[in-house]
Amino acid sequence: MKKTDNLSAIREKFGVPARRGRAVKIDGQPGIITGMSGDFVRVRLRDREAGLPFHPHEITYP
């Protein structure tokens, strides 16, 4: 079952194109958006099993 995209509030509030499953970069490191936690976007970086919270403006959306 596919999870719903709950990031619409983040997109509206911060004006970023955050979507679950999107490839992004954190300080040049590749990652995948896994969800959100409050006003933070959770990103699973390479070689990590779980997503870590980052402010939406810390993320590069290529």
Q: What is the CATH number of the domain that holds 24?
A: 2.30.30
The range of the structural domain enclosing residue 27 comes to 8-60
Q: What does the pLDDT average to over 7-26? A: 96
pLDDT digits (tens, 9 = 90+) for 42-54: 999 998 999 999 9
23: amino acid identity, one letter: A
Residue 31 lies in a domain: yes
Residue 3 lies in a domain: no
Residue 26 lies in a domain: yes
The greatest distance separating any two alpha carbons of the chain, rounded to the nearest whole angstrom, comes to 32
Q: If you ran DSSP here, which 8-state letter would residue 15 be given?
A: -
Total domain count for the chain? 1
Residue 2 lies in a domain: no
pTM of the entire structure?
A: 0.88
Residue 1 lies in a domain: no
3-class secondary structure, 27: coil
Structure confidence at residue 6 (pLDDT): 80
